[in-house]
Structure 1
Amino acid sequence: MQAIEILERLVGFPSVVGTPNTEIVAWIRHYLQSHGVVVTELPGPEGDRSNLFATIGPKETPGYILSGHMDVVPAAEGGWTSDPFRLRAEADRFYGRGATDMKGFLAAVLAAVPAFAAMPLRRPIHLAFSYDEEAGCRGAPHMIARLPELCATPLGAIIGEPSGMRAIRAHKGKAAARLTVRGRAGHSSRPDQGLNAIHAITSVLVYASAEADRLTSGPFEDVFEPPYSSLQVGTLKGGQAVNIIPDICEAEFEARAISGVDPATLLAPLRASAETLSQRGFQVEWRELSAYPALSLAADAPLAALLGELTGIEPLAAVSYGTEAGLFQRAGIDAIICGPGDIGRAHKPDEFIRAGELLACQAMVEALGRRCA
């Protein structure tokens, strides 16, 4: 099957983040097995979704991982000019949810599988396809934890997020959390008889704003834009009516950290501030939503040199968005980003990828296979 035909199949599965992915997993597994590939399905703790790991070549020898996620963001926003879960061709563009982020990469890799299978690989090519990346990389950690039993320690991992087929060596880490404050409802004319959850959470919001301002003073890492870690309040929900004392309020916080900074530590002061509200009679719940570490691959790393040779383009130092690459690096596996398409098209109506981009990606991964043969 050609990459475009495979992409059509993949886009047809509405594998929206946070939902079961049984159908897309079954199709990919069957496709790989039809080419004689050894496939391991790795169910996650949710029970209704899985990661997939496959090996072509000698698994006991160090090789390379081609990593991508099978989930996509929802497509409920307005502006789509066709069914987002049915690939539409127009000239050299192919439209559909996930076409760029990142089923295009999966399609190019799967299209290369017959070529891999025909190569006398001395080093293996591994395919690592994850779930719920769009919810903060929830699936990949379960798969990475299983790698020691699945293969020899890989020489590197290529994460195929859309990068215009230019390799990228670094990105920031991220952590997100939800704070829920519960007070006591009542009539607004008797504030002395209630506990206003919105008033209470305001102190944490003010503190978060001050922390965000403080981070602009450094430390700095010039490869990023902005060159410092950041923090924000992303959502705020609370209250029923203006004459009811609000008994519940929720806020969600996000931190993005430069290399060497654990993003969870940026949220820790906010959690400490929130927990002091319990001394005033409020119930406080802090829930971590997601977290992944930063990626920082040295410019002279063998993996960076390899991708420069395979693509013919000098790797880019860093990008602002995050990926699963940092998780592989934390596990002791060098990682780099390189995939087809433009991140600027992702998470938007009429997301698309160009035919030439798919072919360029397939050519790159097949060239990697020849290096391993």
Structure 2
Amino acid sequence: MTKGLGAREILERLIAFPTVSSRSNLDLVAFVEDHLAAHGVASRRVPDATGEKASLIARIGPAVEGGVVLSGHSDVVPVTGQDWTSDPFRLTERDGRLHGRGACDMKGFCAGALALVPEMLAADLARPIYIALSHDEEIGCVGAPAMIEALLASEPRPEAVIVGEPSEMRVVTGHKSSWGFRAEVRGFDVHSSLLHTGVSAVMSAARLIAWMTETTRANAAAAGASPFDPPFTTLHVGMVSGGTASNIAARDCWFSGELRILPEESLPGWQARVRAEAARIEAEMRAIRPETWFRLTTRMEMPGFLPAPDGPAERLARRLTGDNGAHVVSYQTEAGHFDARGLPTVICGPGSIAQAHQPDEFITVAQFEAGTAFLRRLIRDLAA
């Protein structure tokens, strides 16, 4: 029975579900469904193709346009290899901090929203509040697009979306887009004394890596005024592997990389630039050995977020928080997907991103309570 649970008790329950992206989140989804049903609130699952993951949508209030979506995600990053001083999947309070995987990112926000369902119902809302809980945000916002489409297909159009990622309750109105890719290179192996007759996959891969490095340097040198840190688009390679011996031109090599792109710049345009450079390198490889190749495949793709200023979501969040500052973030969120579907969106939630994904992840009690207070003000704002 979940009807009498407060925000901290719900946070404890949510953290206890180890919803890392390699595992199903359905136990957590079932808990949320039961909590909502205990208060007479219907919800709808949006399953993924495997049936092992699902997003969840619920409406509290009348079926009219102009509502507000509270957007959160159910998944968390792994704890493998991290040095925790307490069980990461058990809520632990120490020195005014609530520790646990996901406490900050972003089960704290979700717990606050779920705990206030009774107050939402009692307020006799004139416009609805939607709870939208996605799956697999941490591996590229995988669940968000289908969840958003299901919401738009089944409910009156909302006026605003609040993505409750940890922003220390500041109103965030921008983040970069990103593209993660894997490169696979097939060379032609020969003894290194006959290097001119073969094609080294490692050295061919290194040419694109070097181009990415130089392009990032050029972007930095040309950077203008920007609120982003860094104020330019970055191209990065994080993993690389290839070759069999130091005296053999490598037959195979792979590497994985990512671009983090200013939202005013074109994500497809940057993808085309990287692919064009890979194609140029491949053409030179094939001039030596026609059976060689250079392939790029997308691992993840996340749209940037840069809404029109002074939109309904921004005005609402500023009114509720009193924050009139200009804030952008370097991390990606589901805000870009909502914005791409024409839904006015803002990022505003409790906790600091500096604590997300860290060992002993935490949200301060003060921030947790600030998030709940913010949601109470939203309820009053939408009340009849």
Asked if these proteins are the same fold (TM beyond 0.5), I'd say yes
Match of 2:364 in 1: 354
- Deviation readout 1:34-76 (Å, 9 max, x if unpaired): 1111211001234321111111112332201000111111111
- Asked if the contact 1:218–1:229 (Cα under 8 Å) also holds between the matched residues in 2, the reply is no
Could you tell me how far 1:347 is from its partner in structure 2? 1.2
After TM superposition, the structure 1 stretch with the greater mean CA deviation from structure 2, 28-37 or 224-233, is: 224-233
After TM superposition, the structure 1 stretch with the greater mean CA deviation from structure 2, 346-355 or 178-187, is: 178-187
Could you tell me how far 1:323 is from its partner in structure 2? 1.0
**In structure 1, what is the Cα distance between the partners aligned to 2:154 and 2:234?**
37
- Deviation readout 1:125-149 (Å, 9 max, x if unpaired): 0011111111121110111122221
**1:273 and 2:273 aligned:** no
For residue 11 of structure 2, the aligned residue among 7, 24, 42 is 7
Match of 2:250 in 1: 246
Q: Structure 1 stretches of 5 or more lacking a match?
A: none
**SS in structure 1 of the partner of residue 145 of structure 2:** helix
**In structure 2, what is the Cα distance between the partners aligned to 1:329 and 1:89?**
36
Match of 2:99 in 1: 95
**In structure 1, what is the Cα distance between the partners aligned to 2:250 and 2:160?**
52
Amino acid at match of 1:54: A
**1:319 and 2:329 aligned:** yes
**In structure 2, what is the Cα distance between the partners aligned to 1:43 and 1:315?**
38
**1:42 and 2:46 aligned:** yes
Amino acid at match of 1:71: D
Match of 2:213 in 1: 209
- Asked if the contact 1:13–1:85 (Cα under 8 Å) also holds between the matched residues in 2, the reply is yes
**In structure 2, what is the Cα distance between the partners aligned to 1:124 and 1:42?**
20
For residue 328 of structure 1, the aligned residue among 327, 333, 338 is 338
**SS in structure 2 of the partner of residue 216 of structure 1:** helix
**In structure 2, what is the Cα distance between the partners aligned to 1:185 and 1:114?**
68
**SS in structure 1 of the partner of residue 370 of structure 2:** helix
Match of 1:161 in 2: 165
- Asked if the contact 2:160–2:312 (Cα under 8 Å) also holds between the matched residues in 1, the reply is no
Match of 1:79 in 2: 83
In structure 2, relative to structure 1, the CA distance for the partners of 1:191 and 1:19 (3 Å cut) is farther
Amino acid at match of 1:350: D
After TM superposition, the structure 1 stretch with the greater mean CA deviation from structure 2, 306-315 or 174-183, is: 306-315
Could you tell me how far 1:188 is from its partner in structure 2? 5.0
**In structure 2, what is the Cα distance between the partners aligned to 1:20 and 1:326?**
25
**In structure 1, what is the Cα distance between the partners aligned to 2:128 and 2:150?**
17
After TM superposition, the structure 1 stretch with the greater mean CA deviation from structure 2, 100-109 or 113-122, is: 113-122
- Deviation readout 1:151-176 (Å, 9 max, x if unpaired): 12211100001011111111111111
In structure 2, relative to structure 1, the CA distance for the partners of 1:128 and 1:221 (3 Å cut) is farther
Amino acid at match of 1:320: S
For residue 140 of structure 1, the aligned residue among 138, 141, 144 is 144
- Deviation readout 1:310-349 (Å, 9 max, x if unpaired): 1122243312222111111110001111111111111111
**SS in structure 2 of the partner of residue 100 of structure 1:** helix
Amino acid at match of 2:377: A
**In structure 2, what is the Cα distance between the partners aligned to 1:15 and 1:129?**
13
- Asked if the contact 2:159–2:312 (Cα under 8 Å) also holds between the matched residues in 1, the reply is no
> TM-score normalized by structure 2?
0.91
**In structure 2, what is the Cα distance between the partners aligned to 1:167 and 1:189?**
61
Could you tell me how far 1:244 is from its partner in structure 2? 4.5
Could you tell me how far 1:219 is from its partner in structure 2? 6.1
Amino acid at match of 1:338: C
Q: Structure 2 stretches of 5 or more lacking a match?
A: none
**1:105 and 2:101 aligned:** no
- Asked if the contact 2:104–2:361 (Cα under 8 Å) also holds between the matched residues in 1, the reply is yes
- Asked if the contact 2:213–2:236 (Cα under 8 Å) also holds between the matched residues in 1, the reply is yes
RMSD, matched Cα? 2.0
- Asked if the contact 1:307–1:315 (Cα under 8 Å) also holds between the matched residues in 2, the reply is no
Amino acid at match of 1:337: I
For residue 308 of structure 1, the aligned residue among 300, 309, 318 is 318
- Asked if the contact 1:18–1:135 (Cα under 8 Å) also holds between the matched residues in 2, the reply is no
Amino acid at match of 2:337: L
Matched-pair identity in %: 39
Could you tell me how far 1:350 is from its partner in structure 2? 0.5
**In structure 1, what is the Cα distance between the partners aligned to 2:225 and 2:269?**
18
> TM-score normalized by structure 1?
0.93
Amino acid at match of 2:375: V
